[in-house]
Structure 1
């Protein structure tokens, strides 16, 4: 007997989007923090504003990505599209 096709529940899809959103936010804020520290030490004589600017840019990019992910629910990623040629019938 064949098992029924398993469909994804909407709660699971929503949870996956939130997980992606939170991990993306953490990565982008940490990257902005790191770059802000480097620029603060190397170029701006240890001023604090490059650190907060870098974190703000990271947060803004993460917010934009999350907003795009939640507003495009049926986004399909594909690398190749296979086409078939129609042959003329005699």
Structure 2
């Protein structure tokens, strides 16, 4: 064993392009999952309740896609989350020393 002190690794910085890419990946995955669940619910409802009509499938798939779109919109624009307030940096109080 060496007696040399180990230095901690510097924190990794993430570029803004990587952050946007991760958000798009999450949005796409969320869209596929929610639309797939909506499609499945629509097929089951169509077969069991609505005598094999097509509109329950389209409606529930649209509900899933709309929910995914709303979640994606909130992740890219946090000001749209109800109850949040954006305070400009110039009007924030200076910390006292």
TM-score of the aligned structures, taking structure 2 as reference length: 0.70
Name which structure has the greater RCO, CA cutoff 8 Å, separation 6+. 1
Corresponding residue for 1:79? none
Structure 2: 5+ residue stretches without partners: 1-6, 80-97
Corresponding residue for 1:41? 47
After the TM superposition, which segments of 4 or more aligned residues of structure 1 sit over 6 Å from their partners? none
Structure 1: 5+ residue stretches without partners: 74-90
2:76 to 70, 82, 87: 70
Supply the distance in 2 between the matched residues of 1:29 and 1:44 (Cα, whole angstroms): 20
TM-score of the aligned structures, taking structure 1 as reference length: 0.76
Supply the distance in 2 between the matched residues of 1:2 and 1:51 (Cα, whole angstroms): 55
Which SS does the other structure have where 2:75 is aligned? helix
- Structure 1 segment 46-61 matched on structure 2, within 5 A: 46-61=52-67
Which SS does the other structure have where 1:29 is aligned? helix
